[in-house]
Amino acid sequence: MKRHEDRTCERRGLNPACHLLALLLLFVLAFPVRGAAEDGVSPVWKEGDTWLVKAVYRLHPDEDKWSGPVLWEYTIVGFDEDGSEGHYILEIRNQKGHMKLTSRLIYRAEDLSLIRAEITKTRRGQEFVKVLTYHGGTPVVTEQTLTPYDIPVFPLTCPSSLDFEVTRQVDQLKAVQNIRQEVRQVSGAEGLPDQLPGQDLIEVKCIGKDGLIFEQYWDKNSPWPVYGRNGNMKYWLVKE
């Protein structure tokens, strides 16, 4: 059979490399090339999705002492079309309603980069809203709220190491921060929930000049990291 195939190539005037091309074609048919969405991991959201996150907070900046747990309910309350872009709207509320604090987060549907955070606090019956804006394409760490919203740059590709330059407005001055995002696959880490022993997870670490900014552990089938921490808080996805 091989001789017959060789003669066929010659009769058609083809280069003998046609055999290699034929083998490659068979490989592609047997193992299809993955689409762009499969080149890395990104959470999948849809309107109406909801999940719970348990968080604890550092009581003193120089001590390893933490608050009792607080439960936050995350809900994708909407999907808006804005011209050629779609936006997910994520709201975070205290599950029991004891804490008068909410966050409304707007993400680009294309890459789940954060565009805006609207943080509402109620004091003495009066609401105060703080709006934080982001350019997208860089990691974001939670600030000015207890509702965890650290977010890396998606998709998460293992292994990878990427550098980002983040420009922020601080007291009418622009401050530039360099952040490195490191991604790898792991089978466990300190602080993970008991129900995840030995499970393959994606570890994300975002590091600045002064050290770790935040780290997270993602399960590719979960809408939020199963565990994360920054300098002020630790948080866990609640598996029901």
Q: pLDDT of 87-120, one tens digit each?
A: 999 999 999 888 889 999 999 999 999 999 999 9
- Cβ-Cβ contacts under 8 Å for 121 (sequence gap 6 or more): 100, 101, 127, 128, 130
Q: What is the pLDDT of residue 173?
A: 73
The pTM score is 0.80
Terminal CA-CA length for the chain? 59
Q: What is the pLDDT of residue 174?
A: 77
The tokens for 141 are: 């760490």
Q: What is the pLDDT of residue 239?
A: 80
Low-confidence residues of the chain, pLDDT below 50?
A: 1-12, 14, 18, 20-38
Q: What is the pLDDT of residue 29?
A: 38
- Cα gap 202→160, rounded to integer Å: 11
Q: What is the pLDDT of residue 200?
A: 86
Short-list 180, 184, 149, CA closest to 166: 180
- Cβ-Cβ contacts under 8 Å for 175 (sequence gap 6 or more): 167, 168, 169
Q: What is the pLDDT of residue 226?
A: 93
